[in-house]
Amino acid sequence: MRSYLLVPKESIETQARDGVRGTARGERQLQRSTALRFAGAERAAETLQQLGLRSATLPGARPSVSKQPKGKGGKGSRGNVVRAQATVMPGGPVQELTGSEAGSYRYMPLIGATMAHFYSDKAEHSARGELAGEFEFIPDVVPLSFPGPVAGETGPRNRGMSSLAEREWPDECGVPLAHAQGIRGAGVMLGVLDTGVDADHPEHASKVIQFRYVSLFPNSPHTPARDIRGFDPDGHGTHVCGIAAGVHHGVAPEVDLYVASVIESETIRTSLGRVAAGMEWLLHQFSRPENATRPAVVNLSLGFPVVCPPGITEADYRLNLRALRTMLRRLLDSNVLPVVAAGNSGPNTVGYPAGFPEALAIGAVDFDRKVASFSASGVVEKRSVPDVMGYGVNIYSSTERRCNNQAFYERMSGTSMAAPYVAGIAALYRCRAPDLTALEVKDLIMANAVKLKRSPGHRTGKGLAVYR
């Protein structure tokens, strides 16, 4: 059984275009509609349904599929009886629930792709025969993860409502000035793909957080994604959300949070399919009528390994990279700015998606503006990474709560901490000038960055991201 992301070849080969609120046509208030860019994407969903695969499409606009023919294929998609139970075998992986259908699929119109999971070689062969000419079959085999923890860079935990007597964002970064001017992120949507968020932590409990748990098998109709109250079994996502949007210590405390949990705490790894499903959900939320013209930012503290992992072919690795890059293009097409952690592997180690030009890639400095030793940097196809830096050493933010509801805060380090700081800065700019496009905000952040004179330029990009 193998999973594939089916992406129109036109889509994956096409460079990013002007966003839906771009300046090419002089229009600033058009609603998001990336689904119209590659209308042929829905043919994959139609074909898979005709072949007997069962739909697990996310809520929202469903594909206009053809009527099923009578016979074995048509019967296979309805009234299926589950024939296998999800079990955890000693030393083995969690098994997917499967039914009597030929497979399952999830049509994702806003990123212009379909995730397909085939339960038999025959079903996969039939689908390739029908679709391989127009669609790239991208195997979901390369794990993604957030940058690993940084040893020796974590401060002690603190108890209490906020613990710090004063917020610690220094005056030089412009955050105190923005807050004094009433610029606190109101009206901006911030999406986060991470381990989740503890919605009842004091740093987040006063706001309504739109939250989706994306299951281990996101394109299975038997384990659907769930919209529930936010939780976080790891703490990483809660820390990230606290930096960007915490009500006591966040850079942009008044943004509206949209969080998709796509990473498990036990492995800190995820799949392309889960990230795609989470990104589709974010775009679905951002495209609702009440949100369609609001500015948005997405924080991605995750990525593919720097080099092709053992056991995976270089061709499959490159296909996964191209698919992830296509998703970032869809964000820009939708006037959403993707902010991405550069990684924690040090100099001359740049992973993806930070290496893609569509991303705003973030390195880490401490509060003395010194580049963190772990902060990744390098050159990818003549593009220097990172683009800008953020505070990422011993950053104070929310983590978890005890069983007695006692809240904890903790200092953590990493580009995973620097990225939400910059995402918060981007939210402040988008709050002040909501008519700016995502690319214009990206350029503004880079133009206003404070140069770091004591650090090598190839490691710091344009400098420290600040609000001016």
Is the predicted pLDDT of residue 37 greater than 90, yes or no? no
Residues 6 or more apart in contact with residue 180 via CB below 8 angstroms: none
In a domain, 467, yes or no: no
In a domain, 224, yes or no: yes
Read off the CATH number of the domain in which 269 is found.
Answer: 3.40.50.200
The predicted pLDDT at position 182 comes to: 97
Residues 251 and 321 in one domain: yes
Q: What is the CA radius of gyration of the chain?
A: 22
Give CA 378 to chain center in angstroms. 22
The encoded tokens of residue 44 equal 């994959």
Q: Which of 155-169, 338-352, 359-373 has the lowest mean pLDDT?
A: 155-169
Q: Which of 50-59, 153-162, 363-372, 393-402 has the lowest mean pLDDT?
A: 153-162
**Is the peptide bond prior to 305 cis by the omega test (within 30 degrees of 0)?**
no
In a domain, 465, yes or no: no
The predicted pLDDT at position 146 comes to: 80
Q: Is 351 helix (H, G, I), strand (E, B) or coil?
A: coil
Give CA 62 to chain center in angstroms. 22
In a domain, 353, yes or no: yes
Stretch 117-137: mean pLDDT: 94
| Mean pLDDT across the chain | 83
In a domain, 247, yes or no: yes
Residues 136 and 156 in one domain: no
Stretch 204-214: mean pLDDT: 95
The encoded tokens of residue 214 equal 């994306």
Residues 197 and 157 in one domain: yes
Q: How confident is the model at residue 425 (pLDDT cuts 50, 70, 90)?
A: very high
Residues 137 and 150 in one domain: no
Greater pLDDT, 101 or 309? 309
Task: Establish how many alpha carbons lie within 13 A of residue 106's alpha carbon, considering only the half-sphere containing its beta carbon.
Answer: 32
In a domain, 468, yes or no: no
In a domain, 35, yes or no: yes
Residues 94 and 106 in one domain: yes
Q: How far is CA 103 from CA 2, 50, 380, in A?
A: 10, 11, 38
Stretch 169-188: mean pLDDT: 97
Residues 22 and 170 in one domain: no
Stretch 455-467: mean pLDDT: 86
The predicted pLDDT at position 97 comes to: 54
Residues 397 and 447 in one domain: yes
Residues assigned a catalytic role: 194, 236, 416
Residues 299 and 435 in one domain: yes
Tens of pLDDT, residue by residue over 302-352, are 888 888 989 999 999 999 999 999 999 989 988 999 999 999 989 988 889
Residues 455 and 415 in one domain: yes
Which of these three, 141, 167, 194, is where a domain ends?
141
Which of these three, 86, 119, 141, is where a domain ends?
141
Stretch 178-191: mean pLDDT: 97
Which of these three, 141, 163, 186, is where a domain ends?
141
Is the predicted pLDDT of residue 50 greater than 80, yes or no? yes
Is the predicted pLDDT of residue 112 greater than 80, yes or no? yes
d(CA 132, CA 37): 20
Is the predicted pLDDT of residue 117 greater than 50, yes or no? yes
Residues 168 and 40 in one domain: no
- The identity of residue 411, as a single letter, is R
Q: Could you tell me the residue range of the domain that residue 27 belongs to?
A: 2-141
In a domain, 379, yes or no: yes
- As for how many domains the chain has, the answer is 2
Stretch 442-446: mean pLDDT: 97
313: burial class by Cβ within 10 Å (0-12, 13-18, 19+)?
A: exposed
Cβ count near 426 (within 10 Å): 32
Residues 328 and 259 in one domain: yes
Is the predicted pLDDT of residue 78 greater than 50, yes or no? no
Q: Is 379 helix (H, G, I), strand (E, B) or coil?
A: strand
Tens of pLDDT, residue by residue over 223-252, are 778 899 999 988 999 999 999 999 999 999
Q: Is 283 helix (H, G, I), strand (E, B) or coil?
A: helix
Residues 73 and 213 in one domain: no
End-to-end Cα distance, the chain: 52
Greater pLDDT, 90 or 213? 213
